[in-house]
Structure formats: structure tokens, C-alpha cells
Amino acid sequence: MKTMHIGKTPLVVSRLAFGCMRLSDNRREALASIQTALEAGITFFDHADIYGNGSKEDVFSAIWEAVPGLRDKIILQSKCGIRRRGDPDPTAPTRYDFSYDHIVRSVEGSLRRLKTDYLDILLLHRPDVLMEPAEVARAFDALHAAGKVRYFGVSNHTAAQIQLLASCVRQQLVINQLLLNPLDSELLEVGVSLTRRPLLHRVRGDGTLEYCWMNGITIQAWGPLVGGALSGNLPAGADSRIVEAAQVVAELAAAKGVSREAIVVGWLLRHPAGIQPVIGTTNPARIRAACQAVDIELSREEWYRLFVAGRGGELP
């Protein structure tokens, strides 16, 4: 497994991260998935306090007994900020909460469930419209000073939202986790379709990828395997765009003698910004298949062929 640095930190991690959202609540099955990732060389594990309402963090903690001495050899990341409908009372809607109390309480809950003294990285999960940057800064300061969180970042944030937060917090924001794959490539679209009006209105986060790249913020890609849509799990009634992209993936995989998962993940690794895909499959065979991506490199022509197919139309 190849490695990379996270942002401008000294953290050296595996090129791929393992997302724990879909871990089985069955400890034996969960451990099989985690151990497969470890055997493949993955050292970065991504959580969130809402995954299984905390059950995924709890089941993950079984790895400490299964692999003694592992904690200092891996990077644990969790996320907070999403609150479910009905929490804390029946009338409460689904919402985002970056208040001091919620951030601190969420981290303490994650630490308890993960059975660890610290998180290597904490991400704010989705932008809170009512965020008060000074309150977030106070929470970050408290968690950092207490040794409960080493580094901080965000998820699903635009460049402007990161700039606003960075203007108040003392800690460097080292990660932005974003949806990115060959079928969800809007972050790249602004670079090729700026003057095309119909496409301009589909672009979200204008300049976000470039902002993160310029400022040493590692871009993590969630949903990199598109739920298997391009690697053998084509949805029933899939539109022509998905069918064509899946065909391109199959042809490239056959030509290179690798898995289709490796082509889809390799498409992200080929980008010069140093994107870290967060693979979410818990199937051991598919974990191993995705990890083949670190040993291939798509040519410019191969990369653009999949980009064009995934975007559903020729470049302008």
C-alpha cells in the first residue's frame, strides 16, 4: 500500500481510507472487514457519530483486543454535527449542530464507544447554517488542549465555508471530505464548463477542490465506488450515462488485468491533488479489489474517457 501525508501534518497514512459506515453490527463480520483492510495496508479508518447511531464505533472497538498494540499504528477519524429527527424531543427535526456543547459531547461519546483516549482527526460533518465560528473555535481549543483531538477538518464544505471557519479557529483545517467519483464529478465540472450556462447551475462549491489543493487541505472522496454501480452492481433501469461509464470501466479493467473497483478508485488517485478515497465496502473481496488501485495508473486518455462517460456528454 502506498502512503501519503494528511494536509501539512506529519501524519503519514495509507493512500486509501476505510469508511466504517456500513460495518456489520455482528462483531465477527465487522472484524473480518477491518482485518482485511489492515492486511491490505490500510491504516486510516473513518467514522461518524451518527453511523448506526454510534453502533459502528462501538463494534470497531473490538479490533483492539483482536490486534493488540494497534491503536498507535492507525489513524482514527470521526465526524460530528448531524442530529437526527427526534433528538432530544419528538418535535426536533433533522438538523446540523456546531454548538460548543454538541461538538464536545459528540467527541466524548465517540471516544467512549471507540474505547480510545483520543481521535487523530475530527471532522465537522455537514455545514451548520447557524454556525458561530467563535463557538466552534472554543470547542476545538478545549478538545485539543485536553488531548482528545489531534487535528481538525470538515466534510461537505465549500471553499467559502472553510475560509469563514478558518478565520476563527487556531488549528489548521487539514481535511475536507467530499462526494467525488466518476458519476458525481461536479467538483471537477467547473474547471471545464465555466461558461456553459446549463451546466454552470449544476456546479456546487465553485473552486472548492482548487482551494483545498492550494491550501494544503487533503481532499477525501466519499462514495468513491458509487455503491458498486460501475463495478458489477449496475442498478436496474440505469440510464445510458451509467451504463456507458460501467462499460468503460469494464474495458479498462480487462485491458489492465485488474478489478473494476481498481479502475474506479484509480480514477480518483490519478488526480494530481492527492485525493484520498474512502472506500465503504465491507466485502473482503471488494476491499482487496479496490486496493489494487494503488498499483495502476490511468493515462490521460483513459482518465478522460471515464470522465466524459460519467458526466454524460462530450467536453465543450
Tell me the catalytic residues.
Answer: 51
| Residue whose C-alpha is closest to residue 22's, from 239, 171, 218, 228 | 228
CB neighbour list of residue 70: distance below 8 Å, 6 or more residues apart: 38, 63, 64
| Residue whose C-alpha is closest to residue 150's, from 9, 15, 47 | 9
Strand boundaries in the chain, DSSP class E: 3-5, 12-14, 17-19, 44-46, 75-80, 82-83, 95-96, 119-124, 149-155, 173-179, 218-222, 276-279
Reading the block at residue 50, the C-alpha cell is 451518527
Dist. CA 141–CA 135, nearest whole Å: 10
Reading the block at residue 42, the C-alpha cell is 490500510
3-class secondary structure, 230: coil
Dist. CA 268–CA 271, nearest whole Å: 6
How long is the chain? 316
User: Is residue 88 reached through a cis peptide bond, with omega within 30 degrees of 0 on the bond before it?
Assistant: yes
Dist. CA 182–CA 164, nearest whole Å: 29
- Write the secondary structure of 155-177 as one string of H (helix), E (strand) and C (coil): ECCCHHHHHHHHCCCCCCEEEEE
* Radius of gyration for the chain, computed over Cα atoms and rounded to the nearest angstrom: 19
